A and B are shown apart, each in its own frame.
Chain A
Amino acid sequence: MGTTITIKNLTKRFGDVVAVNNVSLAIEAGTFLTLLGPSGCGKTTLLRCVAGLEDPDEGEIYIGDRLVFSRARGISVPAGQRDIGLVFQNYALWPHMTVYKNMSFALEIRKLPKAEIDKRVKESLAEVKMLGYENRYPREMSGGQQQRIALARMLAYRPKVFLMDEPLSNLDARLRMDMRAELKRLHYVAGATTIYVTHDQVEALTMSSLIAVMKDGVLQQVDTPDRVYRCPSNLFVADFIGNPKVNLLEGVVDGQGCVDLGEFKVAMDTQGVEGKVVLAIRPEDIAVYTEPTPGTVKFTVYSVLPSGADSTIVARTGEREVTIRVPGISPIKMDDSVWLKFDPQVINLYDGATGNLVAVRKV
């Protein structure tokens, strides 16, 4: 089964660039943790530090109780001795070895008996549903098949920790969907602690038990997918997660239990909050009425974008524009008038200056 991973005050610099900035993380055994962030945010570097492919400039890393890296104590256990498996973005299958050789390599280095190697290779191939491909070379397989072999290669030596660096990014959209389910199942069965790097928020939301959002080398929020989605801890996370994007409406607390947005006011609990704020409401949390209703604001529909399961509506009042998501194909047409309800129960409030969450939604 899995093991805990503890990262303390980890910093990694490349020249003047701080790729990972004072990151601390405690990951419980068996967790599927996703490092999520835009490209260049340091997520891959953090992963490579855990793997042992990069030496951090500061901090410590424990795998279980074992200290595998400590700058202060001058310790860095070589990658191959950390009991960690890594799936590379481009799979990194050795092109001159057959599938079998690719998989037995690590086991031969560990000097396992031949029968045991054979057994493990077969088992791992079965797990990724690739039995019978032992004698193929990587170039003789499709991208999806190579992906499975890359996984099997990692599984074969049964590491306690799985690291995956954007493993699905080179697959086409459909295959990616299938592999998400497979990967999640694989993690469920193996129970190994997993760190998964991706810039794809859907991947993160669908697969993880824990998401760590990064920006410019700094951890922004570490939470369950649900919490990250519903209660982003700052404006960056709020803006990064969700498609269509969250509505961010700038306003001022008026001291009378309302946020003044200029065109209209939203009544909500603003205790302890003052000055400029940003009000965040998810597109699906805005209620739409086609007739005047108490407690609503009148908007004009600017555009309607149906996509089958749901429709996205862009509506405006004055300079203010909001995005709304409604289920199914909406009967609303362009230039229609709609009345929108901003329920304070589903609104997050952020400090206009710091961007931090100051008032959290109630439901």
Chain B
Amino acid sequence: MGVPEVLQPPLSLRILAAYRRFIRWLTSARVLLALILLVMMVYLILVPLYRMVETTVTYQERDVLAVPDAVPGQLTAYHWVRMLASRVSRVFLYAPLQHSLVVATGATLLAMFIGSVLAWLVIRTDMPGRHLVNNLATIPYIMPSWTIAMAWKVMFNTRVAGGTPGLLEYLIGRPIPTWLAYGPIPIIISSALHYYTFFFLFVSAALMSIDSNLEDAAELAGASRSRILRRITFPLVLPALLSGFIMTFSKVMGTFGGPNVLGTPVRYYVIATMIRSSVAIGEFADGFVLAIVLILFTIVTIYINQRLIGTRKSYETIGGRGFVAHVARLGPWRKVLAAGVIVFQVLVIALPLGLLAYDTFMLHPGNYSLSNFTLHYWIGKSDINIANGTPGVLRNPKIYSSAWNSIRLSLATAFFTALLGVILGYAIVKGRGTRLSKLVEQISFIPYVIPGIAFGAVYISMFSKRVGPIPPLYGTFALLVIVSVAKHIPYSARSGVSAMLQVGRELEEAGQMAGANLWQRFKRIIFPLTSAGFVSGFLLTFITTMRELSLIILLVTPATQVLSSQTMRYTENGDTQMANAVILILITLVLIGNFIIGRFRGGSLKKGLGM
């Protein structure tokens, strides 16, 4: 065709060419962003994990007190032996682990029952008021996870366990048994009433996607209704149930709030509260051993889930939105059932809030008569006889600064998480099929398996010293933002990837052809096209950060106190009314945030859960 062959150039030119190719690869958008993300994630995720493991296998400064010939920094199995096989293992590890497993299993099963039944009633029956049930079902999850635990305490607290009497004990005049006031049963119930939302959302999505023809076919074949449920419907929603199971189970395993309110006072420790108490007394290595155990359990749970569901992706439910026309007829009981369900839901939401509010108006704890009514805990001036002279929450500058911290922490976290989502999505989707992209995706998933409390623990040791150019961050507000953003990376990556997949690659390539550089393409094409995802991701992160406790409880200092940690601090000091007032403020802020989400189309709790 008259085209001369390309000649082989001399070596010097070949080296130059290879150098140019490398530079071009390095500066290509997806590689550059992926590498930046990789460096960032290594620093925020892998290094902390490494430091955590390292701490558990080396002697720490303070170990000299217990082991005379210990050399700090030297490799040792001391901490592992101490935690796994010594006289203290039972107290420090095995008992809390057992408690965690009992609580997590119990709460998950109960939540599964409540959530699935509600989902079935809403999606598959002719029960009236289904829309209301649907809306109410997400509210408990929006509130802080330990809200119900604190309300439980107001209701069932007992003198037997050394506290002040709760409302019930006050009313019936007899002591409430300790097992009802504290320990596994209250923790299980209060957690389940928070987490049933997961199951409700997963199962209703699954039920909606099932072709009702499958069930009709069984009915035509003469199967009874219960048989259809067992043999057709149940297997079809099984993946959703399993997804809900691992999500709830691992969440409850790592939850700090509820067990701290309802377990710690009677020395019923779970792993999360044990990590806190270890870290609080400076035994980082012990705490980290517990954290690693917790992480291993989470990984095993996820692994089992993957095996059970097979090759199907764990959270993927079929996207078909064909709403089912065929519904089960509940007959004359439908109105009663509807009333029952709605009363239950309202009670789960309103009763705790009512109890908390009621309690804040009681001057002396344990006395619930109207003569004890006071507004002191809200608007009272400092009085040395009440709550060590702490003024009412609305007069207390500390509360205002906590509220402001909560808000700015949530705003900053939400902004960076959403921004990171777009960039992660870009790097992962544009590099699909390359090892770099896979690596970014895999590392981004890691924080998912690290329970919040453990993540927080790692960050203490990680950022208490200067590392390279980064100054010691412990005690700063920035550290709270960093840890919150880092913990959200898995969610951010998921939503970023799905947002990016909706933007066809040609749209960006058309920008390339037009001569737009990376920044111009992001500004003019990619950001505008993913803005809906950005906004919903932003708002959801805002809410979840606002009520986050486990993650930051170990990292807050008096100067960086946020509302969630403030309420826990008051609880621990026995200032129950103050604690309850603060959590009510927190819930108010969260509900306002949720109201704003409702204003934005496209933002929904489902999306926030990565469904």
- The answer on a CB contact under 8 Å between A59 and B515 is no
Given contact pairs A88-B506, A92-B507, A72 touches B6 in the complex (Cβ within 8 A):
yes
Residue of A nearest to B18 (CB): A74
- The answer on a CB contact under 8 Å between B513 and A79 is yes
- The answer on a CB contact under 8 Å between A73 and B17 is yes
- The answer on a CB contact under 8 Å between B6 and A8 is yes
Shortest CB-to-CB span from B435 to chain A, Å, is: 12
Query: Contacts of B17 on A, CB cut-off 8 Å?
Result: 70-75
Which parts of B337-352 form the interface with A (CB within 8 Å)?
none
Q: Which of B6, B8, B24, B525 has the most CB of A within 10 A?
A: B6
Given contact pairs A76-B24, A94-B525, A59 touches B514 in the complex (Cβ within 8 A):
no
- The answer on a CB contact under 8 Å between B6 and A94 is no
Q: Does A24 sit within 8 A of B, measured CB to CB?
A: yes
Q: Does B185 sit within 8 A of A, measured CB to CB?
A: no
Query: Contacts of B524 on A, CB cut-off 8 Å?
Result: 105
The 8 A CB mask of B504-531 against A (1 = contact, 0 = none) is 1011011111111100100011001100
Which parts of B494-512 form the interface with A (CB within 8 Å)?
504, 506-507, 509-512
Which parts of B6-27 form the interface with A (CB within 8 Å)?
6-9, 13-14, 16-21, 24
The 8 A CB mask of B90-124 against A (1 = contact, 0 = none) is 00000000000000000000000000000000000
The 8 A CB mask of A58-90 against B (1 = contact, 0 = none) is 111000000000111111101111001110111
- The answer on a CB contact under 8 Å between A26 and B1 is yes
In the complex, A51→B520 CA distance in Å?
A: 19
- The answer on a CB contact under 8 Å between A24 and B509 is no
In the complex, A104→B107 CA distance in Å?
A: 58
The 8 A CB mask of A189-227 against B (1 = contact, 0 = none) is 000000000000000000000000000000000100000
In the complex, A26→B506 CA distance in Å?
A: 27
Contact of B513 among A74, A84, A93, A96 (CB under 8 A): A84
In the complex, A78→B517 CA distance in Å?
A: 9
The 8 A CB mask of A252-269 against B (1 = contact, 0 = none) is 000000000000000000
- The answer on a CB contact under 8 Å between A25 and B507 is no
In the complex, A74→B14 CA distance in Å?
A: 8
Contact of A26 among B3, B6, B8 (CB under 8 A): B3
Q: Does A359 sit within 8 A of B, measured CB to CB?
A: no
Contact of B2 among A26, A74, A89 (CB under 8 A): A26
Shortest CB-to-CB span from A168 to chain B, Å, is: 16
Q: Does A46 sit within 8 A of B, measured CB to CB?
A: no
Query: Contacts of A222 on B, CB cut-off 8 Å?
Result: 1
In the complex, A219→B514 CA distance in Å?
A: 29
In the complex, A59→B8 CA distance in Å?
A: 11
Q: Does B4 sit within 8 A of A, measured CB to CB?
A: yes
Shortest CB-to-CB span from A52 to chain B, Å, is: 8
Residue of B nearest to A91 (CB): B506
Query: Contacts of A80 on B, CB cut-off 8 Å?
Result: 512-517
- The answer on a CB contact under 8 Å between A79 and B512 is yes
Q: Does A185 sit within 8 A of B, measured CB to CB?
A: no
- The answer on a CB contact under 8 Å between A25 and B1 is yes
In the complex, A109→B14 CA distance in Å?
A: 34
Query: Contacts of A60 on B, CB cut-off 8 Å?
Result: 6
Q: Which of A6, A26, A79, A110 has the most CB of B within 10 A?
A: A79
Given contact pairs A73-B9, A74-B20, A92 touches B504 in the complex (Cβ within 8 A):
yes
- The answer on a CB contact under 8 Å between B513 and A110 is no
Measured as residues with beta carbon below 8 angstroms from the partner, the interface class of chain B is 35 or more
Given contact pairs A95-B529, A109-B515, A90 touches B504 in the complex (Cβ within 8 A):
yes
Shortest CB-to-CB span from A347 to chain B, Å, is: 27
- The answer on a CB contact under 8 Å between B6 and A51 is no
Contact of A6 among B3, B16, B511 (CB under 8 A): B3
Given contact pairs A74-B18, A74-B19, A105 touches B506 in the complex (Cβ within 8 A):
no
Query: Contacts of B61 on A, CB cut-off 8 Å?
Result: none
Residue of B nearest to A71 (CB): B17
In the complex, A348→B124 CA distance in Å?
A: 70
Q: Does B69 sit within 8 A of A, measured CB to CB?
A: no
- The answer on a CB contact under 8 Å between B514 and A105 is yes
Shortest CB-to-CB span from B291 to chain A, Å, is: 41
- The answer on a CB contact under 8 Å between B525 and A51 is no
Contact of A78 among B1, B21, B504, B512 (CB under 8 A): B512
The 8 A CB mask of A1-40 against B (1 = contact, 0 = none) is 0000011110000000000000011100000000000000
Contact of B509 among A6, A53, A85, A109 (CB under 8 A): A53
Residue of B nearest to A7 (CB): B3
Query: Contacts of A55 on B, CB cut-off 8 Å?
Result: 24
- The answer on a CB contact under 8 Å between B516 and A109 is yes
- The answer on a CB contact under 8 Å between A9 and B20 is no
In the complex, A59→B16 CA distance in Å?
A: 16
Q: Which of A9, A75, A109 has the most CB of B within 10 A?
A: A109
In the complex, A8→B512 CA distance in Å?
A: 24
Residue of A nearest to B524 (CB): A105
- The answer on a CB contact under 8 Å between B13 and A72 is yes
Query: Contacts of B8 on A, CB cut-off 8 Å?
Result: 72
Residue of A nearest to B512 (CB): A79
Residue of B nearest to A48 (CB): B509
Given contact pairs A7-B3, A8-B4, A72 touches B9 in the complex (Cβ within 8 A):
yes
In the complex, A283→B167 CA distance in Å?
A: 97
Q: Does A339 sit within 8 A of B, measured CB to CB?
A: no
Shortest CB-to-CB span from B10 to chain A, Å, is: 10
In the complex, A96→B18 CA distance in Å?
A: 40
Residue of B nearest to A62 (CB): B3
Shortest CB-to-CB span from B178 to chain A, Å, is: 61
- The answer on a CB contact under 8 Å between A53 and B512 is yes
In the complex, A98→B18 CA distance in Å?
A: 43
- The answer on a CB contact under 8 Å between A106 and B515 is yes
- The answer on a CB contact under 8 Å between B13 and A109 is no
Shortest CB-to-CB span from B525 to chain A, Å, is: 6
- The answer on a CB contact under 8 Å between B1 and A73 is no
Shortest CB-to-CB span from A151 to chain B, Å, is: 13
- What 3 pairs across the A-B complex have the smallest Cβ distances? A80-B515, A74-B20, A74-B17
Give 5 A-B contacts (CB < 8 Å), ordered by A residue.
Answer: A74-B21, A75-B17, A80-B515, A110-B515, A157-B514
A72-B14, A92-B510 provided; 9 other pairs, C-beta below 8 A?
Answer: A7-B3, A8-B3, A8-B5, A74-B19, A80-B513, A80-B517, A92-B504, A105-B514, A106-B516
